[in-house]
Structures are given as C-alpha cells and as structure tokens.
Amino acid sequence: MKMTVLKVGLLCFIVLLAVLRSWYGTRLDSFTVDEPFHMVAGISYVQTGDFRLNPEHPPLSKLWVGWLAPDDFSLRAFEPLNDKYAERNHLEETMFFDNDFAQAQQSARLAMWLFNGLLMAVLLLLVWHLWRFTAAIVVGLLMVFEPTMAAHMPLVMTDLPVSLALAINALTATGFARQWRWHWGLALALATGVALSTKFSALPGVLAIYLVLVFLALKSLAQKRHQPALKRLGATVLVGVLSILLLWASYGFQYHASPDGGDPFNRSLTAKIDDLSNPSMQSLLLAIDQSRLLPKAYVWGLADTIKAGIEGRGRSMHFVYGHKYTGDPPWFFWPANIMAKLPIPYLFMLLMCVVVVLVRSFNRWNKSPPQSIHRTHQPLLILLFMAAAYLLTLMNSAGTYAGIRHALPLVVVIVVFCGVIVTHHWQPLLSRLAVLFILATALMTARESRLWEYHNETAGGTENAYQYFASEGLDLGQRVKEIEDFIQSNDLMQHNRFNYIWLIKEELEARGIPFSEKLSGIDDDNYEGIFEGYFFMKTSDLLPWDGWDPSQLNMLDYVDRIGNVYIMKGRYVDPMDWARLMRYEVRKYIMETDEPEWEKVALRLEQVVNMIDIHFDTFVDLGNAYVKTKKRSLAIAAYQNALNLIDDSKGYRRKILTQIELLQSGANWSDVGTIRPDNLE
C-alpha cells in the first residue's frame, strides 16, 4: 500500500513537472486569437445557462474555465448577432473592453493547467494499469518534454484536451473489452462523454474505438457462443448511450440553446445545415435534430465543423518543407507537420520503436503464428486503430491552416506508443537509448521560452521554420505584449501608421497600442496600392501566396523581429496588394452590414478580379452581387468563372451548377437567392 502511494505520488510529480515546463515555455504569451471566444462563451454558459455563443465547439473545456473564472467577470447583454463576424466582435469586445483581460488570462491558464493535468494523470494511471509502472513513468517524461503538448496545456482551446481524452478512450476500451465489467464500462462512458463534449474531431476516433468493441463483442459468435456475444454487444451499446447522456449533461440537458426554448444562434440551424454541400450529411443532421437525439447547439456546431473543417475554408496553397503545393494538400502534409514539430530525439525513438515492433513481430510469427492478440499488444492496437481513423479523417479535411494543433491526438499516440515499447521490450541497449533520447530532448529544448513556435532542426529550427511551413503552428497572436513593449520603448505611441494583419483589433485598442489598417474599408480608393508606415507582419508573409508578391517588401527597411513577427517600416507600392485586401474588406462589409449596397459590392469585386488571380469564392461573391442587382447574364458568367476554378472533387460544384441552371431558366428574381461562399466560416 505504501509503495502504491509513493508511485501515485511520483506520477503526480511528473504531471506537476509538465505544468512547470509548460509555464516556463508559455509565461510570456498573450491570448491566442481563439481563446477570448471560448472563454467568454464558457463564462456565459455558466452565468446564464445559455449556449448560443461559440457553438462551433462543444462546451466542456469552456464550462471548466467558466466555473473557475473571476467572480467579477462582466458579460454584455445578449443581442441579435449576424453570423460569426458579429459574434466574434461581441466576444472580443466583452473580453478586452469590459474586463481585466490580463487577470482573465491568468485565471484561464490556471484552470486549463488543472484540466489538462487531470487528464494527463488519468492517462498515466491507465498506462500503469495496462502495462507497467515504468511505462507510465517514461510516457509521463516524454509528455513533459514534448514542446507542442506543453505549449497547449494552459490554453482555452480544445486540441490538447481532446487528444488526451481520445487516448484515455482507447485504453479504457481495452480494460472494458478484457473483462466486460461494469466499472470499466462506466470509465469508458465517462471518457467518451468527455471526448465528445470537448471537440467535434473526437467523433472519428470514438467511432473507431466502438467499432473495435463491437468486433470483439461479436467475436465469440465464431465459436457459436451467442449469449456472451449478445451480452457484450448490449453492454457496448449501453456504454455508448451513457456517453451520449454525459454529452447532454454538458449542455445542462437542454435541447434548445437558451433556457427559454429559443435558439438565437448567429445563423439559424436550418441555414447552417443548408450550407453543407453533401446532401447525405444534410439529411443525417436534419434527422438527428428532428429526432432530438442531440442538443441543437451540438448539431449546429457539428454542421459548422463539417462545413469549415471538411468541405470548405481550406487553403488553395500549402507550404511543406519549403515546397509550394497548389490545390489539395499533398498526402504527406500531416505526417510532415508532425515530423517538423517532434524533437529530433523523439523521431529517432519512434523509428527505433517501429523497427523493434516489426522485428519482434516477424520473429514471433516465424516461431509460432499467434492465434490471438497478446494482452500487452491489445491496448496499443486499439490506440493505433483509433489514430489511423483520426489521421484518415484529417487527411480528408480542409483544416491545414491550423498546422500541428489539429494533429495533436497523433502526437499523444506517438508518445504513448514509444513509452510502452521501450519498457515492454526493455533491454539494456534499448533502455539506455530511451533515457538518452529523453535527456537529449530535455537539453535541446530547455531554453525554448516560446514553446508554441518550436520546430525541430529538420524544419530550420524555431528561428527559420517560417521558410518551410506556414500555418498557425508558427504563431497565433501570442506576441502582442512584446509588440506593445517595442512601441513604448521606441517612443512610437503617437505614430499614426501602424499596420497589423492578423492581431485582435480590440486587444490592441485595450492596450492603447496605436493601429491603422491598410485599407479604410470598402470605400478605400488607394487603387495604386501605396502603403507606408510601420508594418507588423507574420514571417509567413514573406512567402509567395496567391495574389501576393513578397518582393514588394524589399522597398521597406527592416526594423526588428519578435518571434514570428517581422517589423518593417517605409513605403511600398503594390496595386495587387490593394486588390487582395479589398476582397476581404468586401466580405467583411457584406457580413457586417444589414443592407449592403450591392452595386458598390459588384464594382469593388469587378476591380479585384481584373487585377489578380483569385480563389473561386470571390466569383461567388460577385455572382451574388449581380443577383442582388438583377444582372442575369453577368451573374451567370461570374458563377461560371467560379465553376471553372473549383476542384472537381468538391461537392460545392452542385450548388453553383444549380444556381446557374436556375438563372438560365429565366426564373423570377424572387425565386433566386444567393449562394453562401464555401469558405465563409
């Protein structure tokens, strides 16, 4: 008993060590651009019981932060919100104008360290139970020194919680399948409920795990043992039902978003489902909603995730190890991102473990082909099957903009796999190599004070990774404090020309940082593209994106670099940059204006498409403007141009074709609506 207590204490110490490492590597970070949305929404859930805000993520992480938020955190009164632009402005203004955002961030960080620390502790206890205590120690130490996991530990984001929860799901499923006992069933139901209530991307991993359980439950049918098979299948179904009940519990068992029975989302659920290009998926979500199987807020978020993460919002250009790929990302995009982010010693350890498994499996098979899976291997196989399902879904998604954070569940699986293999096949050479790899990683990453930006040497290291990759894995807005310090230390607070591209305007204003935007809005008439002042830009802006020629920056003087933020000043001329930015100003104008002037929209978009090669969605916007101004032939031509640019594999083509056919049929204008742009999420 005393030894068990000591072992539990050691695992808790490792979790504490992970939190301390995370603190050191994130202590200088500001909010990421997503965190204010999640935190304000979570506090709103707790204070009001209303789930209308930020429904694109399930509520568990947000609720946790809301429960532990400062008592004096102030919320604005609910108001009608038109689409995500308006909602995000509402959430950001609440955070930065109405509250002490620095205090709120510290509260949120403590809450998420506790939440992720608890999940990590549960995972290590399961590793100990299913394998051995040394495996839990090694897995824990690997997690401590893995930079990307440490970077995510304090964030009010869902990537790390769902990654840990999915691994816990796979391991509790193993315990359940070994004994089919109720206590393991309850543990699995709880793990599944946590995963589903944290992030929608948990679904493919969870489905894979339950498919394995169904297979294992029915396996005894081969021996004509029907009764055990049916009992086990029934137990699996019951566990699934309990996990759905836990999902409902995270929404307070409310079918509607609001306690009063309303659903005042920023866009109606019907419209949200109609945005989807896949008719089968539309029918499925409608059936789920009409049967009241899941809360409306969950169905809304699921529709949003399918639209934004699978069908649309994807980039048309990708940078992988310095090579540019247009269209769909290459098949190796996600493995390459993982390889660039894992420390080099971890990559060697992974390679070593794979070789050991293959050699051992080959030798064992030659001696005596196995009739059943060894107890030690079963949990790893379930874990790897879950990871394969997740990776397959990821490779068919459009979420490449996020980089490593969308692949974080795979990082957790790699860490567990390596920790188990080096302890299960524990030999003097293997053990020494494992210890060496962990120590090397600790030494190589010890000085990393901005863990979010970490890349290994294959990707140019943290300093030069922007030359090889361009995603949110480089920067997500965490350098605002240093930008403020730079402006103050250089006595630039009175300067009136500061240009920022991706930072939260409300945070800049709350900090008193002067700012101006390159374009003044849809009425901006700087057609020549003359820009001057101080420019704060991502390092990835130095790469040749569609419609952007980075050589224009040669006209500017280099001032400083803060992480992945370049500071430059001077004057440059680039009409194409004006056009590139104008298309976003037009989109923002349409979204934020109750009654847009569609003639003005059409004029601006005509200028844009005549100046630069653009994505198909701009022609969709132009076609919509022509529909609103009743210019049939021009609308047909604009939609046809969009059709010519779109990938044949995209289901969105069907909507454009239907619109063209409707216009060509001479339908009354009252029967012709607009098409929601494919990437407007």
Looking at the fold, whether 255 and 158 belong to one and the same domain comes out as: yes
At residue 78, the pLDDT reads 92
Higher local confidence (pLDDT), 582 or 493: 582
Could you tell me which residues come within 8 angstroms of residue 536 by beta carbon, excluding any fewer than 6 positions away? 483, 498, 499, 500, 501, 503, 565, 566, 567
Asked if residue 588 is part of any domain, the answer here is: no
Asked if residue 50 is part of any domain, the answer here is: yes
Is pLDDT above 90 for 576? no
Structure token pair of residue 194: 């946590």
Mean pLDDT of the region 45-72: 96
DSSP E strands in 503-616: the ranges are: 530-538, 557-562, 565-573
Looking at the fold, whether 504 and 602 belong to one and the same domain comes out as: no
Looking at the fold, whether 436 and 514 belong to one and the same domain comes out as: no
Q: How far apart are CA 420 and CA 119, in angstroms?
A: 18
Within a 13 Å sphere around the CA of 511, how many CA atoms are in the beta-carbon half?
24
Mean pLDDT of the region 38-54: 97
Question: Which one-letter DSSP state was computed for residue 368?
Answer: S
At residue 371, the pLDDT reads 47
pLDDT in tens, 503-562: 778 888 888 888 888 888 899 999 998 988 888 888 888 888 766 778 878 889 999 999
Residue type, 260: D
Backbone φ and ψ for 668, nearest 5 degrees, come out as -65, 150
Is pLDDT above 70 for 312? no
Per the CB < 8 A criterion, the answer to whether 493 and 473 are in contact is: no
Looking at the fold, whether 106 and 20 belong to one and the same domain comes out as: yes
Pick from 356, 370, 517: nearest CA to 427: 356
Asked if residue 454 is part of any domain, the answer here is: no
Pick from 668, 676, 598: nearest CA to 84: 676
Is pLDDT above 60 for 369? no
Structure token pair of residue 561: 């670099």
pLDDT category at 372 given cuts 50, 70, 90 is very low
Q: How far apart are CA 673 and CA 661, in angstroms?
A: 13
Higher local confidence (pLDDT), 379 or 226: 379
Mean pLDDT of the region 368-387: 75
At residue 363, the pLDDT reads 67
- Owning domain of residue 24: 2-445
Q: How far apart are CA 311 and CA 56, in angstroms?
A: 15
Q: What's the CATH code of the domain at 615?
A: 1.25.40
- Sign of the Cα pseudo-torsion (523, 524, 525, 528, in order): negative
Asked if residue 105 is part of any domain, the answer here is: yes
Looking at the fold, whether 528 and 440 belong to one and the same domain comes out as: no
Beta bridge partners of 318: 325
Higher local confidence (pLDDT), 636 or 551: 636
Kindly report the average pLDDT of the chain as a whole number: 90
Looking at the fold, whether 253 and 215 belong to one and the same domain comes out as: yes
Asked if residue 18 is part of any domain, the answer here is: yes
Mean pLDDT of the region 23-46: 96
pLDDT in tens, 252-295: 999 999 999 999 999 899 999 988 888 889 999 999 999 999 99
Looking at the fold, whether 509 and 546 belong to one and the same domain comes out as: yes
Structure token pair of residue 678: 């494919």
Number of domains in the chain: 3
Per the CB < 8 A criterion, the answer to whether 480 and 508 are in contact is: yes
Per the CB < 8 A criterion, the answer to whether 77 and 128 are in contact is: no
pLDDT category at 313 given cuts 50, 70, 90 is low
Mean pLDDT of the region 311-317: 70
At residue 24, the pLDDT reads 96
pLDDT in tens, 645-676: 886 556 778 888 888 999 998 888 888 988 88
Answer with the one of 578, 604, 624 that is the final residue of a domain. 578
Q: What is the dihedral of CA 374, 378, 384, 387, to 10 degrees?
A: 170
Higher local confidence (pLDDT), 599 or 227: 599
Looking at the fold, whether 608 and 567 belong to one and the same domain comes out as: no
Looking at the fold, whether 514 and 602 belong to one and the same domain comes out as: no
Looking at the fold, whether 559 and 603 belong to one and the same domain comes out as: no
Looking at the fold, whether 420 and 335 belong to one and the same domain comes out as: yes
Q: How far apart are CA 446 and CA 652, in angstroms?
A: 47
- Sign of the Cα pseudo-torsion (614, 615, 616, 617, in order): negative
Answer with the one of 546, 578, 610 that is the final residue of a domain. 578
Q: How far apart are CA 173 and CA 207, in angstroms?
A: 12
Interstrand relation of 530-538 and 323-326 (parallel, antiparallel or unpaired) = unpaired
Answer with the one of 578, 610, 627 that is the final residue of a domain. 578
Is pLDDT above 60 for 190? yes
Looking at the fold, whether 428 and 534 belong to one and the same domain comes out as: no
Asked if residue 267 is part of any domain, the answer here is: yes
Asked if residue 278 is part of any domain, the answer here is: yes
Mapping DSSP to helix (H, G, I), strand (E, B) and coil, where does residue 643 land? helix
pLDDT category at 426 given cuts 50, 70, 90 is low
Asked if residue 472 is part of any domain, the answer here is: no
* DSSP states of 269-331: HHHHHHT-S-HHHHHHHHHHHHTT-S-HHHHHHHHHHIIIIIISS--SEEEETTEEEESSPPT
Direct distance between the N- and C-terminal alpha carbons of the chain, in angstroms, rounded to an integer: 54
Q: How far apart are CA 640 and CA 642, in angstroms?
A: 5
